[in-house]
Amino acid sequence: MALRRTTVVRTGLSALLLVGTWVTAGIAPAAATPSTPSDVKAPASAGMLTAMQKDFGLTESQAVARLAAEKTATAVETKAKRAAGASYGGSWFNADSGTLTVAVTDAAKADAIRATGATVRLVEHSERQLDAAKDRIDAFADDAPAGVSSWRVDTRTNQVVVDVVASRKNDNDVRAFVAQAREAGPVTVAETAEAPSTFAAGTVGGDPYYTGNVRCSIGFSVHGGFVTAGHCGSTGAQVRGWDNSYIGNFQGSTFPGNDYAWVNVGSGWWTVPVVLGWGTVSDQLVRGSNEAPIGASICRSGSTTHWRCGNVQAKNVTVNYSQGAVYSMTQTSVCAEGGDSGGSYISGDQAQGVTSGGSGNCTSGGTTFFQPLKPILNRYGLTLHTA
């Protein structure tokens, strides 16, 4: 567990902005100077490797091999997508084989795709067709009942999947929405235990970042501030640190539709390219933002449940929160709870996005969604702070 700050630390480090979260249980002073792997070419810090061993049941060498294979798959994905052209049907990482599978509608493209190092699966629908079908469902997102939790492109089944809450699947409004969705294209239905919600939390004792009476978590440092979730605060809202001192204000915030925001940093606070391990694992340096493929491992840092790992399950997900639909989310098997909102998702040493919401918890397990990072940077003209 993370170590609680002492009075000396509160006095000496009250101006330190710690990326990835800062919060309830506090952190040890060493977090101000992130531990750097002895081999800077290593795929991740020793702490992340330890966490992967725990969460995935791997040995250290297996964790290293998996991260190396995922890094290769990320590079292969770009080349394979280019080779597939308009027939590209999506791709995903296979943890067992350590390879990337690419779906394609045109068998004539298979050899060129294999030449990039990927395996090939022939499918009926291209990614463009699946995205178009999902866009047609997005067009009536405002009519989605609470019993519909999300919908997404599933490249492995070559379908658009509509997730419905199991206990409400026979509600008339849910059945009507599903029927309308089926008219949009290749759609299948899956069941989920509960509806998604955001992971903001009311004020509690400890070490948070606060806006009003809401506690959330920092995502990633950018030059001039940090990014976080939009539902954590509106544009102009004041932000306070773990010691209740003023940090800055929300400079931009969007929710629903998207779930992103950024906060400027001033008043003696500064930024560092670090995701916190909360004393459970070593802090992780951020070295870039290459997007991990579906199936890759991913870890999350948050102010409530600290460090958790899982897999990327889907991209281009529309999440039907009670406040309204949020588009283009990434779905994961990483758990989260209230207060984790806005926290960082990282794969290896590559920043992925910020926690939006989900269902379940870290006792029984759950499904979470994150807002990908690059759209946030592009929207506000920000530059990720990297090591």
3-state secondary structure 91-106: EEEECCCCEEEEEECC
Options 253, 282, 289, 341, the catalytic residue: 341
253 tagged catalytic: no
Selected residue with higher pLDDT from 163 and 39: 163
Say if strands 225-228 and 260-264 run parallel, antiparallel, or are unpaired: antiparallel
Q: Name which residue leads in pLDDT, 212 or 8.
A: 212
Confidence of residue 200 (pLDDT cuts 50, 70, 90): low
Confidence tier at 382 by pLDDT (50, 70, 90): very high
Q: Per the structure block, which two tokens stand in for 72? A: 């290769």
How many angstroms separate the CA atoms of 39 and 62, rounded? 18
**CB 355, CB 261: distance < 8 Å:** no
Residue 183 CA to residue 161 CA, distance in Å, equals 13
Six token digits for residue 45: 């810090």
Checking if the pLDDT of 107 tops 50, the result is yes
pLDDT of residue 12 exceeding 50: no
254 beta partners: 260
Strand ranges (E), 95-245? 99-104, 119-122, 148-154, 159-165, 187-192, 197-198, 201-202, 209-211, 214-216, 220-222, 225-228, 238-240
The confidence band for 204, taking pLDDT boundaries of 50, 70 and 90, is very low
The active-site residue out of 125, 231, 306, 385 is: 231
Close Cβ partners of 37 (under 8 Å, ≥ 6 residues apart): 44, 45, 46, 285
Distance, in Å, from the CA atom of 360 to the CA atom of 195, rounded to the nearest integer, reads 9
Query: What is the pTM (predicted TM-score) of this model?
Result: 0.80
Architecture of domain 18-29+126-277+284-387: Beta Barrel (2.40)
pLDDT at position 208 is 66
Residue from 55, 154, 163, 259 carrying the catalytic annotation: 259
Active site residue 173: no
- In which band, very low, low, confident or very high, does the pLDDT at 202 lie, cut at 50, 70 and 90? very low
Contact 20, 340 (CB under 8 A): no
Quick one: pLDDT at residue 361?
A: 95
**In this predicted structure, what is the pLDDT of residue 54?**
83
CA 104 to CA 91: how far, in whole Å? 9
Which helix (H) or strand (E) segment holds residue 310: the answer is strand 306-321
Work out the mean pLDDT of the chain and round it to a whole number. 86
Q: At what angle do helices 46-56 and 60-84 cross, to 10 degrees?
A: 90
Which of these, 69, 28, 13, lies nearest to 347 by C-alpha position? 69
CB 322 within 8 A of CB 288: no
- pLDDT for the residue 113: 98
122 has a pLDDT exceeding 50: yes
Mean pLDDT, range 144-152, rounded to an integer: 96
142 catalytic? Reply is: no
